[in-house]
Amino acid sequence: MRFRLAGLALVPTIIISMTSIVSAQNTGRGGTPPPPMTLTIPGFPDFGVIPVKFSQAAPGAAPGEGTSPAMSWANAPAGTQSFFLHFHDLDLARNKTTDDQAHWVLWNVPATATGLPEGVPKGLQLPDGSYQMSATGPMYRGPGAAASGPLHHYIFELYALDIKLDVKPAADAFETRALVMKAIQGHIIGKAAYGGLFRRPQ
């Protein structure tokens, strides 16, 4: 009987110890979780109306083009090796499929970057080594929903990756995006998003 009681007396101690370990793992070192990754675009509020200057309707903009907005991000997770930015129109189905409009696919942005300037230049590969593509070509494609229809919902999605992607641009933006999306699977360690609304002025 003494042996059985002694064995039972050990059980609460083991449970308490395991609980302490799990709690420590959940909170991380220092007792608090890391802050979430954030994405900010100062040119318009989150899910506010996107100004015309960032759209295809901007004065002097060529068809399908526009000026990309400045943006910044913070709290990238430890271990980030590169960033991938995906800007797309949630309301425009392509060829009656689940594929939506590819307004900007920008990948291999250096891990040291904390934002992008307004008006990223055209070009398949930028000076920092990143690649870009859109349905218009190697450039940012501004929003351009028709004036006769409803406001479209656009979203900028920023992914922090634990690798630098070995992906080169394909023949078009949609094939390129599919290649990038496949390559990032299993390597996303952080994500932030920022939305906007737009339709062409009447």
What is the structure's pLDDT at 162? 98
Q: Are 8 and 105 found together in one domain? A: no
Q: Is the pLDDT of residue 66 over 80?
A: yes
User: How many whole angstroms separate alpha carbon 196 and alpha carbon 53?
Assistant: 13
Report the predicted TM-score, pTM, of the whole model to 2 decimal places: 0.83
Q: Are 91 and 115 found together in one domain? A: yes
As a whole number, mean pLDDT of residues 23-51 equals: 81
Q: Are 49 and 86 found together in one domain? A: yes
CATH number (domain holding residue 73): 3.90.280.10
Q: What is the dihedral of CA 196, 94, 137, 124, to 10 degrees?
A: 80
User: How many whole angstroms separate alpha carbon 59 and alpha carbon 142?
Assistant: 12
What is the structure's pLDDT at 29? 54
What is the structure's pLDDT at 12? 41
% of the chain residues with pLDDT over 90: 76
110 touches 155 (CB < 8 A): no
Higher pLDDT, 98 or 181: 181
What is the structure's pLDDT at 97? 73
Q: Are 162 and 89 found together in one domain? A: yes
In 3D space, the residue among 176, 194, 198 whose CA is nearest the CA of residue 52 turns out to be 198
- Domain total of the chain: 2
Q: Are 21 and 44 found together in one domain? A: no
How far, rounded to the nearest angstrom, does the alpha carbon of residue 144 sit from its chain's CA centroid? 21
Q: Are 18 and 76 found together in one domain? A: no
List the Cα angle 107/158/32 in 5-degree steps.
130
Q: Are 95 and 129 found together in one domain? A: yes
How far, rounded to the nearest angstrom, does the alpha carbon of residue 86 sit from its chain's CA centroid? 6
User: How many whole angstroms separate alpha carbon 39 and alpha carbon 192?
Assistant: 6
User: How many whole angstroms separate alpha carbon 27 and alpha carbon 39?
Assistant: 24
Range of the domain at 12: 1-33
Q: pLDDT tens digits, residue range 2-22? A: 444 444 444 444 333 333 333
Q: Are 80 and 127 found together in one domain? A: yes
Q: Are 26 and 40 found together in one domain? A: no
What is the structure's pLDDT at 19? 36
Higher pLDDT, 190 or 25: 190
201 touches 53 (CB < 8 A): no
Q: Is the pLDDT of residue 83 over 80?
A: yes
Q: Are 56 and 71 found together in one domain? A: yes
140 touches 68 (CB < 8 A): yes
Q: pLDDT tens digits, residue range 86-134? A: 999 999 877 677 789 999 999 999 999 999 999 999 999 999 999 999 9
In 3D space, the residue among 117, 100, 191 whose CA is nearest the CA of residue 154 turns out to be 100
95: region left, alpha or beta (phi > 0 left; psi from -120 to 50 alpha): left
Higher pLDDT, 2 or 68: 68
Q: Are 71 and 115 found together in one domain? A: yes
User: How many whole angstroms separate alpha carbon 85 and alpha carbon 78?
Assistant: 18
Q: Are 89 and 5 found together in one domain? A: no
Q: Is the pLDDT of residue 190 over 70?
A: yes
